[in-house]
Amino acid sequence: MTGGPVRLENGDGVAVLTLDRPEARNAITDRDMLDAIISALEQADTDPSIRVLVVTGAGGAFSAGGNVKDMRTRSGIFGGTPAEVSEAYRTTIQQIPRLLATTDLVTIAAVDGPAIGAGFDLALMCDLRLASSRARFAHSFVDLGILPGDGGAWFLTRILGWQRAAELSFSARQVDADEAARIGLVLEVLDPADLMPRALDLAGTIAAKPPYSVRLTKRLLRAARSLPLEEFLDLTAAHQAIAHHTDDHAEAMDAFFERRPGRFTGR
């Protein structure tokens, strides 16, 4: 999938989704951009050859978030009655967290430059986040007299905890890359030239693991957010029983005892 406001490129089990509207700092609330992101996520999620998805932005910005010109003129998804705006959010930008919160793909945000507002939230929706040294983040919604309508607050509180999420949301202050690493918002900070190589290296490492085991592990991590312990243990036992009967488990055992890399098929 190439051309238009996004690019989706796939190779060796790793796909890269690039927001590609640098002249608009990869703002994501235009209808065509939203449609393109949603389509790319759906395509990646249903492609059995893809195991890891890297999300990044072109042109030195991850994403500036919402289109403030449309906000001011109340056009695009911001136009219409309150009921129409609510429906526009529900059927467009809120589809992104629904897809990213339910996919079994491992998702990695490679953040170079600003990730502001909804752009920050897009990074939060990924499982792992890497940042370049020039990355910066802001939950800037209150400065515009609005709130994170894309669901970002749900992710922010789970990643940083209530107090830190509240401070960033209420103050709308910017966080630089070093602070982001210090508070656990990003996994690593890298030189800009090293960001994508590191993201692809990490993605490749994960993609080389037994795919079904990785998918089941992600499901467990997701379930751990909400299930009580007894229900979680039951789910763990069920998933583990399935994993023990996969071809990849047998191959992993053979590779372990033969001291060689595994050759996994996702079965």
Q: pLDDT tens, 50-64? A: 999 999 999 999 999
Burial 186-204 (b: 16+ CB within 10 A, else e): bbbbbeeeebbebbbebbe
pLDDT number for residue 1: 60
The band of 129, judged by pLDDT with boundaries at 50, 70 and 90, is: very high
pLDDT number for residue 265: 87
pLDDT number for residue 189: 98
pLDDT number for residue 200: 98
**Averaged pLDDT of the chain:** 95
The structure's pTM equals 0.95
Q: Residue 45: pLDDT above 80?
A: yes
Cβ(27)–Cβ(64) below 8 Å: yes
Q: Using CA of residue 242, residue 245, residue 246, residue 248, what is the dihedral sign?
A: positive
The band of 4, judged by pLDDT with boundaries at 50, 70 and 90, is: confident
Rg (CA), the chain: 19
Q: Which amino acid is at 165?
A: A
Q: Residue 30: pLDDT above 80?
A: yes
Q: What are 79-101's pLDDT values in tens digits?
A: 999 999 999 999 999 999 999 99
Q: What are 62-84's pLDDT values in tens digits?
A: 999 998 999 999 999 999 999 99
Residue 209 three-state SS: coil
Q: What are 152-187's pLDDT values in tens digits?
A: 999 999 999 999 999 999 999 999 999 999 999 999
pLDDT (mean) for 195-207 = 98
Q: Residue 3: pLDDT above 70?
A: no
